[in-house]
C-alpha cells in the first residue's frame, strides 16, 4: 500500500488542492481503491467530500457528519455516536471511513477539536500517543486489505500531527509557491524528512518525490525563485519537472454546487484538466512504478 502525503508547514501553498487532485486521480482515473485522510484541524479536505458540521462543543471547529452506515436503533451501534474521524486513532477507537461521490474513494475526515488535542499532547507522551498512531492504523490488516493507496492532507505545522504523517508515509510531496516564505516551509519539511529518514530501515525508505511548484504565475518573482532552486546541484534534482499554475478553476470546483465537481470530469482539452492530469500522472508514475 502506498501512503502519499502532501506537506509544507507554510499554509496556503495548495496542499489540499494537490491532495484532492491526487486522491481523485488515483481513484477515479486509475481506478485504484483509495483512502483520503484529512490530518489538518481546518478540515478543508474533508469538506470537499462530506458535509462537515459545526461542532457545538467547539464552535470554531468542524466535525464529521453522521455516518451513512450508522443506525441508532441497531444495538451494534449503541456505543457509537455515529460520527467517525481519523482522530479516533488517538483515542483507541476504530475509524470507519465514509464513502464519497467519487468512485473508489473512501474518506477519513478530520475532527478539529480532537486533532488539535493530539497536536497539543505533552512532549513526554507524544511519541506513544501521537507519533506512532497513524502508522499503527495504516498497517492494520483491514486498511491494507481495503485500499491500495492512501492520500493524506496535512496541517501547516511541524508539530506532532505532521510527524505522525511522516512516520506513516511511504512517499511525500512538498507543494510550494515560488516565494521566500513557502520555500522556508520546504526547509521545515526537509528537516522532518531528514529526521525520519535517519530512523528508517533501508528496506522501508521515506521517498521524497519532490518539490511541486504550485500556484505558479508567470512573474519574475516566481520564475527567478524556481530557477534558483533548479540551478542548485542538491535541491535541483528534487524540483519536479511539472507544475500547477494559478487557476481560479481549482478554487471554483471547491464549491459544493460546482459542476462538474472533479477536475477530471472537465472536457478533455480543458487546460486545467490537462495540467492536473500531467502532474498526477507524473507523481503516480514515480509512486506506483518506482518503489
Partner 1 sequence: MAKKKRFGVSQALTRGLTETINVVENNAGIFRNTVLPLSRIELDPENPRKLAIDLLDIRQGIQATDPWVSQKQEELERLKELAATIASTGVINPIVVYKRGDIYRVVAGERRCLASVLAGKQEIDARVFNEKPKGFDLKLVQWVENTARDDLSLDERLDNIRDLIKEYCVQYGDVPITATLLKDITSLSLPQATYYLTVLNAPDDVKTLIKDGTLRSLDKAALIASITAPAVRQEAITACIEGYSLKQLRSIVTKNKILTTKKVIVPNVKRRGRTSTRVNMGYTANPKVVKQLIDAVLLQERYKKYVATFNSVNWDYLDQATKAFRQLIDILELEQVG
For partner 1, the binding residues (CB under 8 A) are: 180, 183-184, 186-187, 190-191, 193-194, 197-202, 205, 208, 220-221, 224-225, 228-229, 232-235, 238
To the nearest whole angstrom, how small is the minimum distance from the Cβ of residue 185 to partner 1?
A: 11
Q: Which is nearer to partner 1, 57 or 198 (CB)?
A: 198
What does each C-alpha distance from 241 to 149, 173, 278 come to in angstroms?
23, 13, 10
Distance CA 95, CA 88 (A): 6
Q: Which is nearer to partner 1, 69 or 231 (CB)?
A: 231
To the nearest whole angstrom, how small is the minimum distance from the Cβ of residue 170 to partner 1?
A: 14
To the nearest whole angstrom, how small is the minimum distance from the Cβ of residue 62 to partner 1?
A: 34
Distance CA 83, CA 102 (A): 20
Q: Which is nearer to partner 1, 233 or 255 (CB)?
A: 233
Q: Which is nearer to partner 1, 149 or 225 (CB)?
A: 225
To the nearest whole angstrom, how small is the minimum distance from the Cβ of residue 54 to partner 1?
A: 39
* 162, three cell numbers: 505532521
Helix extents (H) in the chain:
15-24, 44-49, 112-119, 126, 133-138, 141-146, 160-168, 180-197, 220-231, 233-236, 248-252, 271-289
To the nearest whole angstrom, how small is the minimum distance from the Cβ of residue 102 to partner 1?
A: 34
How does DSSP classify residue 239? B
Q: Which is nearer to partner 1, 135 or 148 (CB)?
A: 135
- Please list the helix, strand and coil fractions of the chain in percent, rounded to the nearest 5, in that order: 45, 15, 40
Q: Which is nearer to partner 1, 164 or 207 (CB)?
A: 207
To the nearest whole angstrom, how small is the minimum distance from the Cβ of residue 180 to partner 1?
A: 7
Distance CA 93, CA 88 (A): 5
Amino acid at each position: 500500500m502506498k501512503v502519499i502525503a502532501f506537506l509544507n508547514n507554510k499554509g496556503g501553498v495548495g496542499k489540499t488542492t494537490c491532495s484532492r487532485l491526487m486522491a481523485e486521480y488515483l481513484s477515479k482515473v486509475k481506478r485504484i481503491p483509495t483512502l483520503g485522510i484529512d490530518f489538518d484541524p481546518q478540515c478543508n479536505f474533508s469538506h470537499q467530500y462530506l458535509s462537515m458540521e459545526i461542532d457545538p462543543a467547539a464552535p470554531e471547529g468542524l466535525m464529521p457528519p453522521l455516518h451513512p452506515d450508522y443506525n441508532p436503533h441497531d444495538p451494534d451501534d449503541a456505543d457509537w455516536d455515529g460520527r467517525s474521524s481519523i482522530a479516533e486513532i488517538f483515542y483507541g477507537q476504530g475509524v470507519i471511513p465514509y464513502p464519497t461521490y467519487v468512485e473508489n474513494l473512501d474518506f477519513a475526515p478530520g475532527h478539529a477539536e480532537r486533532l488539535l488535542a493530539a497536536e497539543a499532547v505533552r512532549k513526554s507522551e507524544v511519541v506513544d500517543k501521537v507519533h506512532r498512531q497513524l502508522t499503527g492504523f495504516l498497517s492494520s490488516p483491514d486498511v491494507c486489505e481495503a485500499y491500495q493507496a492512501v492520500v493524506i492532507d496535512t496541517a501547516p505545522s511541524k508539530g506532532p500531527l505532521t510527524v505522525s504523517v511522516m512516520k506513516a508515509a511511504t512517499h511525500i510531496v512538498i507543494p510550494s509557491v515560488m516565494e521566500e516564505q513557502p520555500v522556508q516551509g520546504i526547509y521545515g519539511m526537509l528537516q522532518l524528512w531528514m529526521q525520519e529518514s535517519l530512523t528508517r530501515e533501508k528496506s522501508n525508505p521515506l521517498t521524497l518525490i519532490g518539490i511541486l511548484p504550485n500556484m505558479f504565475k508567470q512573474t519574475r518573482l516566481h520564475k527567478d525563485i524556481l530557477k534558483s532552486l533548479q540551478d542548485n546541484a542538491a535541491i535541483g534534482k528534487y524540483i519536479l519537472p511539472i507544475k500547477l499554475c494559478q487557476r481560479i478553476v481549482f478554487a471554483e470546483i471547491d464549491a459544493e454546487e460546482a459542476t462538474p465537481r472533479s477536475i477530471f470530469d472537465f472536457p478533455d482539452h480543458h487546460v486545467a484538466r490537462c495540467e492536473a492530469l500531467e502532474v498526477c500522472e507524473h507523481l503516480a508514475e514515480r509512486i506506483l512504478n518506482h518503489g
